[in-house]
Structure 1
């Protein structure tokens, strides 16, 4: 009886929150747009936009264009991060996993005398994390080797007022002129820098701290970096990635979709649909991986390094 009476109330409460939050968010967004438009009209705002157009000049000799390897890296990062978010959400919300995985005693990593039993979702999450980290290391090495790092790493302090200028232009719905083939605007630059060099390492270190791979006997470092701190940071970092993906995809599609997709997937500044079709194919691969990430398909792979129990 208690279950049947609480369930409708809980559902009603959730819907009530949605009903109140949605118009509040729309009203807040409307006010932000009006404020941004007003700021653009006043003399101080016009002077600020004239002094800081929204982008910083790149160092002399900076590369122009996006190489093919960057397109592959973009796809792999999208592939891994989407599945990492999915598996991480399942780890967080699944109270009673149906399948557990225990590594073989002959595994390369030995963290305890006895192997730790973990859910299959956590095994997938950790496996994807490892592949994502390897891909990230390759990505940073290529950024440095090809000079592409200057496009996503601030090289002068005027990136801050220029980012504020770009944010004001976006908020006023009179968006900054885009030319990602040559140079990102400063708000994009800071967003990419934060994602690659701050959010990704935070996700890695907090996830590693919560994983069975972390050394439990390292008392000093465990006292400095307790698992409670890792848990408090790991979920917000995941939310950051979700918000980044939403904003990134929205702006890619809203600021010249075909040209942006050609930049990202076809390594070309020309017109046409090649980038779109490559993107569409990559989206099919990600969706297929999402749908196939189930125990029946994961167990044959996971069995190569461990055994299962329920």
Structure 2
């Protein structure tokens, strides 16, 4: 009897799933349309118009703030994007893989020799942790260059008017009458807040919670475990990953919709024009990330992991 009824339930599962997705898509479109209509209605009100004249969306930069984007920011942007994409992919694999196809154990020799037996972790977790280390090293270089060149003044709020300016910018985006931008000179208030959050809040949270969940955390230390329990790290780490994912999607969408050639030249070619050089570098970087995404599989990871430890089934 169960053999006869199982195909029937399976056959219903597919259409039901697609129907659910269609309902969510319609709901999302309707919600977006309501937001746009409300924002456009609000912008017609005289008090709102006066507010937007007073707070057009940009805060004044401190004296001495650099103008333009340096070349080092271009390769930093690529490396950050490269690592973040693969970290999100590998993190999702760690979270969803019930039975790993391979495991990795570090070599207990040389500087890494300890009295305790090295712990065995899944190949997916090894890849995720390796990417984390590279991302953190790249982030350290970024922070040093950011403060050494004064670039921090472009992404760190230095005035409280950043809040009303961010509200004005959000209203412009929501009404689809987007703000006039000149990222070569000054980011708008929402961009400043987003970049500050990513660099100085989300990234440290990802690192701190990741260390707590990794094999690097001291084992058997009851005091440390009580001060910083594993459950707390897990409750923070996954939402932070979702925040990074949402930021990447929104960031790419706005780059493509608000003057794609000029934006890509700013980000990748350190130029303030609408030429095609930045687009070419961007296309090449996307190709590299797609290739890395494809190669991030056990069959390709095993030889690399084997150089740093023992890989077993």
**Normalised-by-shorter TM-score class:** over 0.9
Matched, 1:225 2:228: yes
- Give the SS at the match of 1:290: helix
Tell me the residue number matched to 2:192: 189
Q: Are 2:25 and 1:22 aligned? A: yes
Deviation at 1:111, TM superposition (A): 7.7
1:1-310 paired onto structure 2 within 5 Å: 1=2, 4=7, 7-106=10-109, 108-109=111-112, 113-310=116-313
Counterpart CA distance in 2 for 1:233 and 1:273 is 40
Rounded Cα–Cα distance in structure 1 between residues aligned with 2:119 and 2:36: 52
Give, in whole Å, the separation in 1 of the partners of 2:207 and 2:67: 31
Structure 1, 165-174 or 18-27: larger mean CA deviation: 18-27
- Give how far 1:107 is off: 6.2
TM-score (normalizing by structure 1): 0.96
Moved more, 286-295 or 247-256: 286-295
| Bigger mean CA offset, 91-100 vs 294-303 | 294-303
Q: Is the 8 A contact 1:100 1:309 kept in 2?
A: yes
Map Cα deviations across residues 233-256 of structure 1 (whole Å, 9 max, x no partner).
Answer: 111111111110110001001100
Contact 2:108 2:114 in 1 (8 A): no
Deviation, 1:108, is: 4.2
Residues 164 and 42 (structure 1), Cα distance of their counterparts in 2 relative to 1, 3 Å cut: same
Give the Cα–Cα distance (whole angstroms) in 2 for the partners of residues 13 and 161 of structure 1.
44
Number of aligned pairs?
310
1:101–1:307 contact (8 Å) kept in structure 2: yes
TM-score by length of 2: 0.95
User: What displacement does 1:110 show?
Assistant: 6.4
In the alignment, the residues of structure 2 paired with residue 230 and residue 112 of structure 1 have an alpha-carbon distance, to the nearest angstrom, of 27
User: What's the CA shift string for 1:259-292, capped at 9, x where partnerless?
Assistant: 0000000000023100000111111111111111
CA deviations 1:79-111 (Å, max 9, x no partner) are: 000000111111111111111111111164568
- State the shift of 1:112 in Å: 7.2
How far the C-alpha of 1:228 sits from its partner, in A, is 1.0
Q: Determine the C-alpha separation between the residues in 2 that align with 1:241 and 1:302.
A: 26
Aligned equivalents of 1:12 and 1:211: distance in 2? 40
Alpha-carbon distance change, 12 to 233 in structure 1, aligned in 2, over 3 angstroms: farther
Distance 1:125 1:112, change over 3 A: farther
Separation in 2, partners of 1:185, 1:78: 21
CA distance in 1, matches of 2:111, 2:282: 37
